[in-house]
Amino acid sequence: FFTTVKLCAYAGILISLPLLLYQVYAFMLPAFSPAEKKVVLPFLLTVPFLFITGVVFAYYVVVPAAANFLFNFNSSEFNIQVRASEYYGFLITTLAAVGIMFQIPIGVLSVTRLGIVSAETLRRNRRYAFLVIAVLAMLLPGTDPVTMLISMAPLLVLWEFSVLVARRFGKPGSDFDDDGPGDGGDGPDDRDPDVDGSGGGEARGGPGEDDVDDAGEGDADDEPVGAAGSAAGEEPDPGEKTYPSPFPERVG
């Protein structure tokens, strides 16, 4: 009974895994800029296709070869008995792992389209990619050389195919070539021209020569009448507002 329940749970997770991967991408999507969304959205359509391809490959190629090797290894020395729970756990885990590893093209095209790394850099450092793929294949549930080698072969092909596709379609789009701050140029999409610091009184809306003159005249006109009249020895007009002088009056 419990074996049947676990098998149904594993199968449900496996079937819903493409949708779960899509939900992860959809959760991160609001953090992307509009230009990055144009890069990411087309890849979301290929995630289920690559995952299903990996599951089918593992079910018809990887699992039969691995099971044949494991069941016949030292079969003349030991009486091998297979438990259903362990076998189905091995089967579901292998299918899910291979399906996830078949997402390599999505990762390669994403980092190249976003401008994080170039396809030429990936091509020059393919030996490190081969090492990572070998480690991932070694971590598969089978842990036997047959499962590792059979899983490595399509992953290496997928890697090389991904690099070739990235060299053709993986160049960052023009959306990432907008003028940045301080570049000194006006791009074709710039709505406002760059403002130069020199002679920028009129461009920045600052005071010009006429404003300075007006300000100077205003200061002259606004001089306190009382202080000026007192200094000149004249009596201020009774209708004008006067201010007391800050200097003490000299007594002759």
Residue 49 has pLDDT above 80, yes or no: yes
| Position with higher pLDDT, 44 vs 123 | 123
Question: Smallest Cα–Cα separation from 168: which of 94, 113, 247?
Answer: 113
| Predicted structure pTM score | 0.55
Residue 179 has pLDDT above 80, yes or no: no
Write the pLDDT tens digit of every residue in 233-245.
Answer: 455 555 555 656 6
CA 175, 48, 95, 4 torsion: positive or negative?
Answer: positive
Mean pLDDT for the stretch of residues 73-93: 78
Tell me, what's the pLDDT at 221? 47
Give the chain's end-to-end CA distance (angstroms, integer): 123
| Position with higher pLDDT, 52 vs 248 | 52
Cβ-proximal residues to 151 (8 Å cutoff; 6+ apart), any chain: 58, 62, 98, 101, 137, 140
As a whole number of angstroms, the distance between CA 147 and CA 139 comes to: 10
Counting beta carbons within 10 angstroms of the beta carbon of residue 40, is it exposed (0 to 12), middle (13 to 18) or buried (19 or more)? middle
Question: Smallest Cα–Cα separation from 155: which of 99, 112, 114?
Answer: 99
Residue 44 has pLDDT above 50, yes or no: yes
Q: Are 98 and 152 in contact (CB under 8 A)?
A: no
Name all contacts of 11-20 with Cβ < 8 Å and 24+ positions apart: 11/92, 13/92, 13/96, 14/55, 14/92, 14/95, 14/96, 14/99, 17/51, 17/96, 17/99, 17/100, 18/47, 18/48, 18/51, 18/52
* Extended beta strands in the chain, E state: none
Residue 200 has pLDDT above 70, yes or no: no
Cα angle, residue 145 at apex, residues 154 and 59 outer, rounded to 5°: 50
- Cα dihedral 127, 133, 137, 138 in deg (nearest 10): 50
What is the percentage of the chain residues whose pLDDT exceeds 90? Answer: 0
Tell me, what's the pLDDT at 174? 43
| Position with higher pLDDT, 119 vs 142 | 119
Residue 133 has pLDDT above 80, yes or no: yes
Tell me, what's the pLDDT at 89? 80
Residue 55 has pLDDT above 80, yes or no: yes
CA 174 to chain centre: 16
Tell me, what's the pLDDT at 78? 73
Q: Which two tokens stand for residue 216?
A: 């100077």
Domain coordinates in residue numbering, the chain: 2-74+81-175
Write the pLDDT tens digit of every residue in 201-243.
Answer: 444 444 444 444 444 444 444 444 444 444 444 555 555 556 5
Highest mean predicted confidence (pLDDT) among 17-21, 76-80, 94-98:
94-98
The amino acid occupying position 237 is D
Q: Are 95 and 11 in contact (CB under 8 A)?
A: no
Residue 17 has pLDDT above 60, yes or no: yes
Residue 28 has pLDDT above 60, yes or no: yes
Counting beta carbons within 10 angstroms of the beta carbon of residue 62, is it exposed (0 to 12), middle (13 to 18) or buried (19 or more)? buried
Rounded to 5 degrees, φ, ψ at 204 are -90, 0
- Looking at every residue in the chain, the average pLDDT score rounds to 70
Tell me, what's the pLDDT at 187? 45
Counting beta carbons within 10 angstroms of the beta carbon of residue 95, is it exposed (0 to 12), middle (13 to 18) or buried (19 or more)? buried
